């Protein structure tokens, strides 16, 4: 090759290199803009959703009559699940007005539980809000009732079997005697974090020591290593859907999968169980990630998307939150998880009305049931607020 040809080739390579670098820079800038847009959208959606629900806490006529009484009780698990999402959102965006709203509601019920089912996990869920207020305000009155109730439980712990044997009639909403313990998947969202937070604010580890043991008793009982998913309770171990598939309920898995990041975030950094929770989280994440529908939603029946074909918001939002937390915290590093989160968040966006009303929320239940667009509920709103909290931090 003569000198002129050699110089031409070198120059040409330089042009290609510059063009390639320029493309990379443009691509990175585009990605940054996309992340910024996602954060802005998440902030807007979280704000709208929170405000719409707060404005509708004094009238539940938009719900079917059979759900209104349970929804209106601020200490019930339905509102408690909303407030778990709202506290996370309030903390994320540092909104003092929302903080004041949460304080007023908690004060109005004297930081108490419903006590007719004193061991039932659902009725301990609201304690997460009271203890969050203790963390924010330093007010010990916020957890006096919780501590008294938990001390009484520790004095006479239940050792009933975790198999769910139904009773008829259901007294105070108990499905079976095993609900004196955490024998169903939902319970792992409702109660363990309350016990953990009580240990954190009091400095007494006896509360979480008990909760840690009970959590793992339930997790080992209900988690399927084969599928990477949680059965809702023992009645579903051998249950099959209409299409012959094992029954794994989307929201049931969402309850646990959302609870895991919340628990891990609240655990002391060097707690001996921390890695165990992370390992379970990653197994559940892998099981859930591969089951997302093309439209971004997770099917109500995870292994049988034809069972309920309509979108379902509560399971989808809980799962999107859990995966987004994993990506944001470097726990889930595979590119597929980021893509799954973006699809899930897009689906959530599409399921929310312009005024902030959350749609497509399966009603109170324990299995994959039909969903209509106009179906909504407070736990679905709480799930969306959890997802919005993580998406405001997306790729920071």
DSSP result, 48-85: HHHHHHHHTSS--TTS-HHHHHHHH-TTSHHHHHHHHH
Please state whether beta strands 229-230 and 223-224 pair in parallel, antiparallel, or not at all (unpaired): antiparallel
Q: How far apart are CA 75 and CA 292, in angstroms?
A: 33
- Enumerate long-range contacts of 270-278, CB under 8 Å, 24 or more apart: 273/212, 273/216, 276/216, 278/331
First to last CA, the chain: 50
223 three-state secondary structure: strand
| 186 included as an active-site residue | yes
Handedness of CA 69, 74, 76, 79 (dihedral sign): positive
Q: Which of 186, 212, 304, 375 is catalytic?
A: 186
Nearest Cα residue to 317 out of 229, 384, 248: 384
Answer whether the bond into residue 196 is a cis peptide, omega within 30°.
Answer: no
Task: Give the catalytic positions in this structure.
Answer: 186
């Amino acid at each position: 090759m003569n000198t002129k040809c050699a110089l031409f080739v070198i120059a040409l390579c330089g042009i290609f290199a510059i063009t390639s670098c320029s493309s990379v820079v443009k691509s990175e800038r585009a990605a940054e803009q996309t992340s910024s847009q996602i954060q802005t959208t998440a902030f807007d959606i979280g704000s709208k959703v929170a405000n719409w629900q707060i404005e509708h806490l004094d009238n539940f006529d938009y719900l079917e009559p059979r759900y209104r009484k349970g929804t209106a009780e601020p200490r019930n698990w339905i509102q408690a699940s909303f407030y778990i999402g709202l506290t996370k959102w309030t903390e994320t965006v540092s909104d003092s007005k929302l903080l004041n709203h949460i304080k007023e509601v908690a004060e109005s019920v004297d930081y108490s539980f419903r006590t007719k089912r004193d061991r039932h996990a659902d009725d301990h869920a609201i304690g997460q809000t009271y203890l969050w207020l203790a963390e924010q305000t330093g007010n010990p009155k916020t957890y006096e009732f919780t501590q008294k109730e938990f001390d009484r439980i520790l004095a006479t712990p239940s050792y009933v079997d975790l198999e769910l044997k139904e009773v008829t009639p259901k007294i105070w909403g108990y499905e079976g005697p095993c609900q004196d313990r955490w024998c169903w998947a939902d319970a792992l969202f409702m109660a363990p974090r309350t016990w953990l937070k009580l240990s954190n604010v009091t400095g007494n580890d006896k509360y979480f020591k008990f909760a840690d043991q009970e959590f793992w008793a339930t997790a080992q009982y209900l988690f399927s290593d084969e599928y990477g998913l949680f059965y809702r309770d023992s009645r579903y171990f051998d249950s099959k859907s209409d299409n012959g598939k094992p029954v794994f309920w989307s929201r049931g898995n969402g309850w646990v999968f959302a609870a895991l990041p919340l628990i891990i975030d609240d655990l002391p950094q060097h707690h001996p169980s921390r890695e165990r929770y992370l390992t379970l989280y990653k197994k559940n994440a892998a099981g859930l990630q591969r089951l997302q529908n093309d439209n971004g939603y997770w099917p109500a029946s995870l292994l049988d998307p034809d069972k309920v074909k309509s979108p379902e918001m509560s399971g989808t939002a809980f799962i999107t939150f859990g995966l987004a937390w994993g990506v944001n915290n470097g726990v889930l590093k595979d590119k597929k998880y980021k893509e799954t989160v973006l699809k899930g968040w897009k689906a959530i966006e599409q399921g929310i009305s312009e005024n902030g009303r959350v749609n497509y929320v399966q009603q109170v239940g324990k299995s994959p049931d039909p969903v209509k667009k106009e179906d909504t509920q407070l736990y679905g709103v709480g799930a969306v607020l959890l997802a919005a909290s993580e998406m405001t931090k997306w790729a920071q």
